[in-house]
Structure 1
C-alpha cells in the first residue's frame, strides 16, 4: 500500500509521445526496463568513478555504482511507502550522462565545451534519454514518463538560475517544472546516490591503499562502527573487520535518512505528490548531525583519495586524452562513425558541431577513449597508463 504522497503510475503525466499502455507493466516499470536495455546503460560497465578502468577489476564502475544506488533507493522507498519502480528508474538512470574517466573527464570536457554552452552530466542524461538513444521506430530517446524525466532533471534539487543548455532545450518543449522539488521517489534516488558513494569511496580507497583502516576508525560515525565490531568480534580478521564496520556505516546513513523522512512526513502530513514538490525544502535528506559528520569524511576523502599523488597523475593523463580528442574531431568530423556523420551533415554552426562531438566523446567508455586516442593521435597517454 503506497502513501498518498507517493507517485501513482495510474495518474502519471504521460509520455511526450503517446503510447499504448502495457497490459502487465506499469508505466514506471516500463521506464526502468527501457533504461536497463539502453546502450548508454550498458556502457556504464566500462566508465569509472575515481579509478581508471584498467587499474583493477574490483573498483566500482558507473554500472556497479548505479546498481548499488538502486538497491539503497528501493530500500528507502519501501520503508516510506513510496513507488519503488519510479525510484529505481531514476536511480538506474542518474549517471547515464557521465563522461569517461569520472569527474576528471567531465571537467576536461566542460573546459572544451565552455565556448559552446558548457557540459553538465545531469543535463546530458536528459539529452541521452530524450534524443541520443535511437532504437525505437516512433521516437528518438526512450520516451520516458514525465515523472522519470523530472527526477533526472532535478537530481540535485530545483534547477534555477543558469540552466544548462541541454536541459533548457528539452524543457522548452516539455515543461518539467524545474523550479520545484522533485517527487519523493526522485529525492530518494538522489540521497541513495550520496549513501552509495560515501560508502564505496571509502572501500575503494582502502583497496587502493590510499589510507589505512586505523585512519578510518578515527573518523566520525566510523569510529562508532569500528568500536561496535571490535566489541562483538574481538580479534576479527583485518578484511572482515573493515567490511563489518563499513557495512554498519552504510546502515547508519540509510537509517538516518529513513528516520528523518518519517519525522518530516509526520509533521507536514502531505496529501499528494504535489505537496512534496511545493514543500519549502527537500523531504528526503540527512539529519544535520550526520550531514556535518559526512562533511568531515568527504574532506578526508578529498585530501587522501581524490587528490592523492597517484590519482592526480592519472587525472592529468586522462585529461590530456579528452583535451586532444575534442579538437581532433572538431577539425576532422569525417572521422566520426557513420551514424554521427549524418548528424554533422545537417548542422549550420560550429556550436552544433561541438555539441555533436561532445555527445560522442561523453558517451565513450574509458577503454574506448584510450583506444581512439591511440588510433587517431599516436596515443602516448595509453602507453603511459600501462607504465
Structure 2
C-alpha cells in the first residue's frame, strides 16, 4: 500500500521530527533548538506520511510575511522540514506532499510560497525559482584592513558586550527596521526572534565560544549589533583565532562600519568568517584588499508564485510597466495563460487578458525575478524566458528590479 498522508497531530511531533533528523543525517539537534522548532511548528500546516505505524515523510509550512520590493509585506507559506525516508525514495511521495501543500497554500489565499533548498535541483519541477543569493567570505584580517571613510562618525558610536538574551529585544527592533528596505527578509512574528540566539545545528559551535553579542549605541539607543562565535587557535607562530559571524545589522553607516571594524580588530584572531551576507554587503567597499576576502556565492531563498495575479499585484515596480506575459505552469495550472501586468511605483494590477503575449515566462523564471535580484533579460539569455515582441523584456526587467539585493538572513 502507498504511504498515507495526514495532518500532523501534536503528540506525533517527536516521531515526525526524528524522521526529519534521520533523513538529513548528522548529530541530533540541540535540545533548546529542538524545543524552539516544536513551539514554532504549525501542526495544521504540517504533513506526515505514514507507512503503517512508521513515519516515512515530513513536510511543513510557516505562516510568514515576506518583504518584497517597495517595502510591502506579502503573506507567504514558508515551506520547511521536507524529507522522505531513504527506504521510500522514488515512489512519488515528495510530489504528493508538494501537491497537497501548494493546494493548501492556494486555499489559504497566500500568493507566495518560499523555501531554502537542501538540494537546489529538487524544487524547480514544482515551480520554485532561485530568487536570492548569499555571500560568504573568509577574510584574512592579518592582511586586510577595514577603514571607515573620514567624517563618517564612527567615533560617536559606543560598542559594548551584551548578553545575547538580554539584548534580544533591542536587537530585534534594529532587525525589524531593516525588513522594509531589503526584499527577501521575513518580518519575524513573536517567538521567531529566539532563532537568532539558538544553538547552531547539531549543538555546540565547533570548539568556539558560546554566542557573543556586541551592540552599537548612539545617545543611549541601540543602533546596531553583531553576534558571533570566537574559536581560539594557536600554532608555533602564535595566535590564529577565528571569528565566525552569525549576524550583523545596523541602522546607519556609522554603526555598521564601527561593528565591522570591531570584528576585524579582535585580539588573538587572524580570520573572520561571514557565512551568510547580502551580495551587495557594504563591507566589500571598506576593505583594503577584497581579493584576500575569499568571497563565494550560493543560492539562498527559492520562491514560488502560487497565485500569479495576486503576487504580481502585491508589489510595486521600479519603473512603469505594461506587458502581457504568457505564463507556463504545469504543476499549478490555474496560473497558466496570458496576464497583463500594468504598474509603477504606486502599485500594480495584473489581470487575465486575450491580448497577444509580449513574452512567454515559465512560472519558475518569474519566481526568480520576483524579488528584483534576477533580471528577466538574463533569464531570457539563458533560455528560461522567451521574448515574443521585440524589446518587450528590457523595460519589464527594469521594472522588476530593486536597488537593494534581495536576501534571506536566516533559514526557516
TM normalised by structure 1 equals 0.29
Hey, which of these two has a bigger chunk of helix by percent? 1
Report the structure number with the largest CA radius of gyration: 2
Hey, which of these two has a bigger chunk of strand by percent? 2
TM normalised by structure 2 equals 0.28
